[in-house]
């Protein structure tokens, strides 16, 4: 006969085994239930699977386009667009080693151009260097004329045109620079000092306000007195206004952006953008996006023809401009008196 103590020990051992088996059975049952549920819910015909299925959302990668910021260049209006800035290829002169007298890169110490010439304005056309133009005042002829790469002024050949600077090369000499805001023969011209952002902004503001312009600058009153609109395609312009336009080429070049337009790989004219309301071009019937094809029969597909048309503007009594506006040809007529 077992003692009461041994009976209690045996009962505790039996209870412990049953408790362990119960716990194992619970987890096995839970696992089996989960497997069964996943099987039935994953079937194509399951209503629950259809209800719980969610469409996958494909988000496009975030992309930042900084083209407009670089084009407007609000931090330096005088510097122009910074999208693909034109690279000026400066040909070396005879015996030129590419080093200045100090042994450094000549681009770091390029001297100023001599001869008394002065850069009045420049218009650059990225991708079409032959369409980049510079208005240069020649002290010999006392006239301001438009020049492009390859032309000569004051016995110096223009080899490159950038925003606010022109590179020229005398015959057999070294390349020099003619800057818009750099006086000739200044002490710092041996190694030009880069203008600070504030200086550039101040000079750009002064230029826009015409503070440095000659008397008779193109203000609103001069435009009102000098232009008479006869119809949408017929205008009368006073000769005095034309003379002011020629004298204020810097202001004229800022009134619009000129971009060569190509069709089937050939330049057929130039398109005009950035024309402001009540500006000179707006008052004579030119609109944003107009494709300028000919002026008095001179084809605008060639920079040489464009310069010839500009030269005729000085003495012409009548101008006929052929444009294409929204795909439709239009002719504008101007009587100069």
Asked whether residue 170 is assigned to any structural domain, the reply reads: yes
Q: Answer yes or no: do 81 and 201 share one domain.
A: yes
Distance CA 92, CA 21 (A): 96
Q: Which pLDDT band, with edges at 50, 70 and 90, does 22 fall under?
A: low
Give Cα separations from 307 to 135, 158, 178 (angstroms).
11, 15, 21
Per the structure, how many domains does the chain have? 2
165/230 same-domain check: no
Q: Are both 113 and 202 inside the same structural domain?
A: yes
> Does 57 fall in a domain?
no
User: Do the Cβ atoms of 287 and 279 come closer than 8 Å?
Assistant: no
Asked if residue 329 belongs to a domain, the reply is yes
Q: Are residues 143 and 226 in the same domain?
A: no
Q: Is 245 helix (H, G, I), strand (E, B) or coil?
A: helix
Sign of the C-alpha dihedral computed for residues 240, 242, 246 and 248 taken in this order: positive
Instruction: Provide the greatest CA pair distance for the chain.
Output: 144
Compute φ and ψ for 197, nearest 5 degrees.
-60, -40
190 and 74 housed in the same domain: yes
Residue 312, both tokens: 């005729």
Q: Report whether 25 contacts 19 (CB < 8 A).
A: no
Residue 236 lies in a domain: yes
Residues 236 and 144 placed together within one structural domain of the fold: no
For residues 122 and 78, what is the distance between their CA atoms, to the nearest angstrom? 11
What would the pLDDT profile of 288-312 be if each residue is shown by its tens digit? 999 999 888 888 877 777 777 777 7
Instruction: Tell me the mean pLDDT in the region 96-100.
Output: 40
Q: Is 323 within 8 Å of 290 (Cβ atoms)? A: yes
Report if residue 254 sits inside a domain.
yes
From CA 208, how far away is CA 251, in angstroms rounded? 8
DSSP helix/strand/coil, 311: helix
Residue 256 forms part of a structural domain: yes
In this structure, the strands spanning 328-336 and 234-237 are parallel
What is the average pLDDT across 186-208?
52
Residue 316, beta-bridge partner list:
none
Q: Is 24 helix (H, G, I), strand (E, B) or coil?
A: helix
How far apart (Å, rounded) are the C-alpha atoms in residues 309 and 298?
Answer: 6
Residue 304 domain-assigned (yes or no): yes
Of 90-99, 163-172, 328-337, the one with minimum mean pLDDT is: 90-99
For residue 84, the model assigns a pLDDT of 63
Same domain membership, residue 183 and residue 80 = yes
pLDDT of residue 193: 52
Are 130 and 251 in a shared domain? no
Residue after which a domain boundary falls, among 206, 241, 264: 206
User: Average pLDDT in the 325-337 region?
Assistant: 92
Q: What is the pLDDT of residue 335?
A: 93
C-alpha to C-alpha distance for 11 and 8, rounded to whole angstroms: 5
Structural element, H or E, at residue 323: strand 318-325
CB-CB contact of 151 with 165 (8 Å): no
Among 206, 229, 263, the domain-final residue is 206
Whether residues 159 and 286 share a domain: the answer is: no
Torsion of CA 46, 51, 52, 54, to 10 degrees: 120
What span, in angstroms and rounded, lies between the C-alpha atoms of 298 and 310? Answer: 10
More confidently predicted of 237 and 14 = 237
**Cα-flanking dihedrals φ and ψ of residue 112, to 5°?**
-80, 155
For 269, the token pair is: 């004219």
The CB density around residue 256, as the number of other CB atoms within 10 Å, is 22
Query: In a 3-state reduction of DSSP, which class is residue 259?
Result: strand
Query: Does 27 score more than 80 pLDDT?
Result: no
Say yes or no: 191 and 225 in one domain: no
- Cβ 219 vs Cβ 235: under 8 Å: no
CATH of the domain at 257: 2.30.42.10
pTM for the complete prediction? 0.46
Average pLDDT, the chain: 71
8 A C-beta contact, residue 86 and residue 124: yes
Residues 321 and 231 grouped into a single domain: yes
Pick the last residue of a domain from 206, 235, 263.
206
Domain that holds residue 156: 67-87+108-206
Q: Does some domain include residue 10? A: no
pLDDT in tens, 121-169: 777 776 677 778 888 888 777 777 888 888 888 888 999 888 788 899 8
* 79 and 147 share one domain: yes
DSSP 147: E
């Amino acid at each position: 006969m077992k003692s009461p103590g041994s009976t209690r020990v045996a009962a505790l051992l039996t209870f412990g085994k049953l408790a362990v088996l119960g716990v194992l059975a619970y987890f096995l049952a839970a696992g089996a239930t989960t497997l069964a549920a996943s099987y039935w819910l994953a079937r194509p015909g399951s209503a629950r699977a259809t209800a719980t299925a969610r469409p996958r959302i494909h988000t496009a990668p975030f992309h930042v386009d900084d083209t407009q910021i670089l084009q407007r260049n609000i931090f330096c209006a005088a510097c122009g667009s910074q999208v693909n800035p034109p690279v000026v290829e400066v040909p070396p002169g005879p015996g030129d080693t590419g080093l200045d007298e100090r042994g450094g890169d000549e681009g770091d110490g390029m001297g100023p151009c001599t001869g008394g010439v002065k850069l009045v304005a420049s218009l650059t056309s990225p991708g079409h260097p032959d369409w980049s133009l510079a208005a240069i005042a020649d002290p010999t002829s006392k006239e301001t004329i438009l020049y492009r790469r390859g032309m000569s002024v004051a016995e110096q050949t223009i080899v490159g045109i950038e925003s606010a600077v022109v590179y020229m090369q005398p015959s057999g000499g070294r390349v020099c620079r003619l800057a818009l805001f750099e006086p000739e023969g200044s002490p710092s011209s041996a190694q030009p000092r880069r203008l600070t952002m504030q200086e550039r902004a101040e000079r750009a503001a002064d230029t826009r306000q015409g503070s440095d312009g000659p008397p008779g600058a193109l203000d609103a009153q001069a435009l009102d007195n000098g232009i008479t609109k006869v119809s949408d395609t017929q205008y009368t312009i006073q000769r005095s206004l034309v003379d002011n336009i020629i004298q204020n080429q810097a202001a004229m070049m800022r009134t619009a952006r000129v971009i060569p337009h190509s069709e089937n790989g050939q330049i057929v004219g130039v398109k005009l953008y950035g024309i402001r309301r009540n500006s000179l071009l707006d008052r004579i019937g030119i609109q944003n996006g107009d494709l300028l094809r000919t002026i008095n029969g001179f084809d605008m597909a060639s920079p040489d023809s464009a310069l010839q048309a500009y030269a005729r503007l000085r003495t012409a009594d009548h101008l006929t401009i052929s444009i294409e506006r929204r795909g439709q040809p239009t002719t504008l007529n101007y009587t100069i008196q």
